[in-house]
Amino acid sequence: MKLEIGNFYVKDIVFGSALSYDKGLLTINKDEALDFIRQDERITEAQLYIAKPGDKIRLCPVKEAIEPRIRLNGKGSFPGYTSNLDKAGEGISYALKNCSVLVVGRHWGGFQDGLIDMSGEGQKYTLFGSLNNIVLVADTDEVFEQREQQKKNDALRRAGHRLAEFIAQCVKNLTPEDREVFELEAVIKRNPEIEKLPSVVYVMQPQSQMEEIGYNDLVYGWDMNRMLPTFMHPNEVLDGALVSGSFMPVSSKWSTYDFQNCPNIKALYKEHGKTINFLGVIMSNLNVALEQKERAALFVAQIAKTLGAEAAIVAEEGYGNPDADFIACCVALEDAGIKTVGVTNECTGRDGQSQPLVTLDVKCDAIVSCGNVSELIELPPMETVLGELESLGRDGLSGGWADDEILGPSVRKDGSIIMENNSMFCGDMVCGWSPKTMKEF
């Protein structure tokens, strides 16, 4: 399967009379784009902004991030979600790099929504503080969700994905600045020199714990709570087959942008044929009941063993209850004779003294930490807030609070904030972006 992505590197974004791209400058007709968004009658308020690195802008509550892309064959970039079900992972797509569409709530946030700073100390905590962002700030008529801690945000999420496709139209007839080619041959009958190398499989555990449809990550539009672990080509992940859901403390989340650009997959591709034989991706899930967790772990180990994997990397979206799935999967793989490395965040408490994962096992002796979700972060006021900063303390965001007997409110009267890392949008970057380093004192 061969996927070619033509890249256009966005250096600046402005609003203008027509949607266009020229030598790094992306121009968007704001009214035209908003008219397109408002075709969904569920959208009651919508506005577009531009947020670039260095801007004194704070965004909250952030719900989703998407890289603008377009397929040259005219089909949708997110099959089964924004368009009819179709195959992902092959053909040619064009992408606007260094750029994302961010979806921000006009009023209401929730457990799964977070914060981004475009400058200052807070900028370093998320990837998106370093990107040029088209920011959709919107609200919907979904009144029943306003005061719920968990929100589906279906209208807002779909609006962001549709807007990303809409914006990417401007490069359809242009010549890319460079091209990335991702091609991985069939697992069997590979070049003998490649087959001599250690065989490695990448296990992804996207969030799928909510039994009610509409909250979980999607594969080809299919709610992952309804599936068992399955083998996928890595190109499918990079090419829009997965869409981020609306569940999990937000620092732990994988946005759609993370799936589209998954650094762990790209790193494995880079080493394929050099130091490893990259077999592909086992797409697992996260469950609530113990029996479901054990069943998924058995499936993952069986698939990996059948493929002939000698090593595995397991990456977990979330923490807490999902830690049991993560550890069970690592143990099952080790029991099958497959050397396993885990990638996860930790929840060690504000003082860093608590047990890092809910459950542990001596067989899990190679784990990469992406930081402590409970670490306290204190940031000064920002000149501009896009969205509604009050949601950080008012609406049950996972790392914010209305008041604390010691620390006071998360959102102070002067606009400064104190919160846990939990509320940084996709801040743990388990998919491979994380720049954090562990030090021993």
3-52 pLDDT tens trace: 999 999 999 999 999 999 999 999 999 999 999 999 999 999 999 999 99
Exposure string of 181-219, with b = 16+ CB inside 10 Å and e = fewer, is ebebeebeebeeeeeebebbbbbbbbbbbbeeebbbbbb
Q: Which amino acid is at 168?
A: A
Closest CA to 204 of 314, 94, 110: 314
pLDDT at 145: 85
pLDDT at 148: 86
pLDDT at 338: 98
CA 125 vs. chain centroid, Å, equals 14
DSSP codes of every residue in 176-208: PSEEEEEE---SSS--HHHHTSPEEEEEEE---
Q: Long-range contacts made by residues 289-295, C-beta under 8 angstroms, separation at least 24? A: 290/324, 293/324, 293/325, 293/328, 294/328, 295/228
Q: Is residue 434 part of a domain?
A: no
As a whole number of angstroms, the distance between CA 295 and CA 297 comes to 5
Where residue 226 falls among pLDDT bands split at 50, 70, 90?
very high
Q: How many CB atoms are located within 10 Å of the residue 74 CB?
A: 8
Q: Is residue 430 part of a domain?
A: no
Taken in order 242, 182, 5, 255, the sign of the CA dihedral is positive
DSSP run (H or E) holding 303: helix 290-307
Q: Is residue 440 part of a domain?
A: no
CB 238 within 8 A of CB 265: yes
As a whole number of angstroms, the distance between CA 17 and CA 237 comes to 35
Q: Kindly state the DSSP code that residue 377 receives in the 8-state scheme.
A: E
Instruction: Tell me the pLDDT tens digit for each residue of 229-245.
Output: 999 999 999 999 999 99
Host domain of residue 153: 2-423
- Whether 440 has a pLDDT exceeding 80, the answer reads no
Instruction: Tell me the pLDDT tens digit for each residue of 381-422.
Output: 999 999 999 999 999 899 999 999 999 999 999 999 999 999
Q: Is residue 27 part of a domain?
A: yes
Q: Is 282 exposed, middle or buried (0-12, 13-18, 19+ CB in 10 A)?
A: buried
CB 69 within 8 A of CB 164: yes
Q: Is residue 24 part of a domain?
A: yes
Q: Is residue 310 part of a domain?
A: yes
Contacts of 269 (CB under 8 A, 6+ apart): 182, 184, 234, 278
Where residue 353 falls among pLDDT bands split at 50, 70, 90?
confident
Q: Which amino acid is at 227?
A: M
Helix or strand or coil: residue 224? Answer: helix
As a whole number of angstroms, the distance between CA 290 and CA 328 comes to 10
Q: Kindly state the DSSP code that residue 359 receives in the 8-state scheme.
A: S
Q: What is the CA radius of gyration of the chain?
A: 21
Tokens of 156: 């807002």
Q: What do you get for the CA distance between the two ends of the chain, in Å?
A: 48
- How far are the Cα atoms of 21, 84, 96, 111, 415 from residue 12, in angstroms, in the given order? 10, 33, 11, 32, 28
Mean pLDDT, range 274-278, rounded to an integer: 98
- Whether 439 has a pLDDT exceeding 80, the answer reads no
Tokens of 83: 């368009």
CB 428 within 8 A of CB 377: no
Instruction: Tell me the pLDDT tens digit for each residue of 160-185.
Output: 999 999 999 999 999 999 999 999 99
Q: Regarding predicted confidence, which is higher, 164 or 354?
A: 164
Instruction: Tell me the pLDDT tens digit for each residue of 94-150.
Output: 999 999 999 999 999 999 999 999 999 999 999 999 999 999 999 999 888 888 889
- Whether 272 has a pLDDT exceeding 80, the answer reads yes
Average pLDDT, the chain: 96
Q: How many CB atoms are located within 10 Å of the residue 41 CB?
A: 9
Instruction: Tell me the pLDDT tens digit for each residue of 281-314.
Output: 999 999 999 999 999 999 999 999 999 999 999 9
DSSP run (H or E) holding 49: strand 43-51
As a whole number of angstroms, the distance between CA 345 and CA 58 comes to 24
pLDDT at 42: 96
Q: Is residue 441 part of a domain?
A: no
CB 156 within 8 A of CB 411: no
Domain tally for the chain? 1
Q: Is residue 432 part of a domain?
A: no
